Amino acid sequence: MIPDTRSIIPDSSPVAPRPMVPPCPTPSAPDAPAFPPPPGGFRNPTTMHSRPAGDFMEHILAVARAEPVSASQIADIGEEVAEAEPIPECHIAPRELPAGTLLHGYRVQRCIGGGGFGVTYLAQESLLNRTVVIKESFPDSICYREEGSLDVRMHDPESGQDGYNWAMSNFLREVRLLATLDHPCIAKVYSYFEEHNTAYYVVEFINGVSLDKLAAQHAEKGIPIPQSSLFGLIVRLLDALDYLHGRKLLHRDIKPDNILITRAGLPVIIDFGAAREAYGDLSNNIVETPGFSPAEQSTPNGNMGPWTDIYALGATLYYTLTGTCLPPAKQRQIYDTADPLSTNTSLLSTYHPALLASIDRAISPLPEHRYQTIADWMRDLASTHL
Ligand SMILES: Nc1ncnc2c1ncn2[C@@H]1O[C@H](COP(=O)(O)OP(=O)(O)O)[C@@H](O)[C@H]1O
Ligand SMILES: [Mg+2]
């Protein structure tokens, strides 16, 4: 798991790299058909090399939007997820609510995550008998939970009040934003409530594993994620980001452990704590994860837009393919030590150069060298002469 290095204070500490993904034991030729065919095959049964761009676009959008494609396309990922271990328990005592706590009709099962701003629990909704995830607002620099009490208290009620109010309103903003979204690759919010002197929201439980873990499993076994599976994931994630950006929203914290892969192989984006309006300025706080966030995100009043999430998705894919985080983005702008994926011979034995080159472009240190919109990225995938 990637350590949670997300902070509101720019931090350039490197994230420990994982070993490189070893080369595929049964490499396919670099110019083998790059992307999987849609169900029933392409309408024009020519090779990928001579296919007109329109067909590619149609195919890409079909993969992104049409449900029937997903099952066959990413079935192998789904099988791996089914084998994977359940979400590990996480202890951040004395902050967390104890297992068994009854909270507004939900029975807390265990704590599954905790960052600087909140705690995440797995819980059972008693009435509907379903598993849910509950997020609790808990800015740990300001608040604590006394042993034996469920209430959240401020260390210093006078100096902490502003921070507490900010955290509560930011939390409500996060849930309101999530409540407006309806996309198969974005976790759905069910409800919001206030209790124990703090706030909670209930969100759909995604039964799967993080992309981080999935990539680690592949690295451990020495088997790269198959190109068709990777492509299915990329296109779906692009579609989800396109959906967000179309609503003028930025996620701002795309990284491998904020993407869960379901048992059906569908990637689902979670953790909208850092999301904000792309062109408004509702929350201009600096929130970044070194290795995944682009430079403009750690710059006060940095010019953020779709290219900001595009960098983070590219960095996520870079990590997924290499097992290594990119160096901090500001450092890359001065001297870039990251090797392009499209010249990595090991990766080229499994993935099409155009697919790797598109990720390279997404992670360009300078925003103007990246795709400016998700549609640009999709169009590039569609129109490249593969
Ligand atoms: N909807 C969900 N379904 C399943 N697991 C989840 C869900 N939301 C969060 N988790 C798990 O809880 C962890 C922490 O949640 P997250 O929303 O990422 O908060 P943070 O990273 O701020 O602690 C995630 O890494 C994931 O393992
Ligand atoms: Mg997270």
* Measured distance CA(362)–CA(130) in Å, rounded: 39
Question: What does the pLDDT read at residue 1?
Answer: 52
Q: Is the pTM value of this prediction over 0.85?
A: no
Res 344: pLDDT: 96
pLDDT at 180: 93
Contacts of 174 by beta carbon, 8 Å cutoff, 6+ apart: 201, 272, 273, 275
| Ligand 1 closest atom vs CA 206 | 3
Using left for φ > 0, alpha for ψ between -120 and 50, and beta otherwise, residue 129 falls in left
- pLDDT on residue 263: 86
For ligand 1, residues with CB inside 6 Å are 4, 87, 112-115, 118, 120, 133, 187, 203-206, 210, 257-258, 260, 270-271, 273
Q: How far is the CA of 258 from the centre of ligand 2 (A)?
A: 5
Spatial separation of the C-alpha atoms in residues 267 and 211, rounded to whole Å: 8
Contacts of 259 (CB under 8 A, 6+ apart): 210, 211, 237, 267, 268, 269, 270, 316
The pick from 87, 136, 270 for probing ligand 1's pocket by mutation, whose C-beta has the most ligand atoms within 8 angstroms, reads: 270
Residue 255's nearest CA partner among 223, 284, 297, 283 is 297
H or E segment to which residue 260 belongs: strand 259-262
- pLDDT profile of the chain (386 residues), mean per 10: 46 36 32 35 32 50 47 56 68 81 95 88 94 93 87 88 88 89 95 95 94 90 88 92 92 95 92 68 66 92 93 98 95 95 95 95 98 93 64
Q: How many CB atoms lie within 10 A of CB 366?
A: 13
| Residue 257 Cα: closest atom of ligand 1 | 25
What was the pLDDT predicted at 346? 94
Residue 217 has what pLDDT?
Answer: 87
Q: Whose CA is nearest to atom 17 of ligand 1?
A: 271
